[in-house]
Amino acid sequence: MSAWRWRRNTSALLVAGILALLFAGIDNAAAGRNREATLEPCRPTRADTILAWDDGDYGSIYNQVSGQLGMKLAVRFQAPPWAEYVTEIRYFIMDDQVEDPEDPNAPTTQPFAVRVWKPGPGVLPGEYGNAFQISGSLYPEEAWLELPLASPVNISDGGEYPDRTFFVGLEWGHAWNPVIGFDTDDPIDYCSFRWNWVAWEIVLADVMIRAVVSDSVTPVEASTWTTIKAMFR
Binding site for Ca ion (CB under 5 A): 96, 98, 108, 183, 185, 206
Q: Which residue is nearest to Ca ion (CB)?
A: 108
129 contacts: CB under 8 Å, gap ≥ 6 = 86, 116, 117, 118, 153, 155, 160, 161, 166
Q: For Ca ion, which is the closer residue by CB, 88 or 206?
A: 206
Q: For Ca ion, which is the closer residue by CB, 167 or 182?
A: 182
Q: How far is the CB of 66 from Ca ion (least distance, A)?
A: 13
Of residues 100, 106, 215, 228, the one with CA closest to residue 154: 215
SS3 (DSSP) at 119: strand
Q: How far is the CB of 162 from Ca ion (least distance, A)?
A: 25
Of residues 212, 222, 183, 202, the one with CA closest to residue 89: 212
CA distance 171 to 197: 11
Q: How far is the CB of 157 from Ca ion (least distance, A)?
A: 31
Task: Calculate the CA 79 to chain-centre distance.
Answer: 9
Q: For Ca ion, which is the closer residue by CB, 26 or 143?
A: 143
CA distance 169 to 114: 6
Q: For Ca ion, which is the closer residue by CB, 95 or 215?
A: 95
Q: How far is the CB of 128 from Ca ion (least distance, A)?
A: 27
Q: How far is the CB of 90 from Ca ion (least distance, A)?
A: 16
Q: For Ca ion, which is the closer residue by CB, 44 or 101?
A: 101
Q: Are the C-beta atoms of 183 and 59 separated by less than 8 Å?
A: yes
Cα three-residue angle 87-93-94, rounded to 5 degrees: 165
Q: For Ca ion, which is the closer residue by CB, 54 or 84?
A: 54
Q: Are the C-beta atoms of 129 and 138 separated by less than 8 Å?
A: no
Q: How far is the CB of 97 from Ca ion (least distance, A)?
A: 7
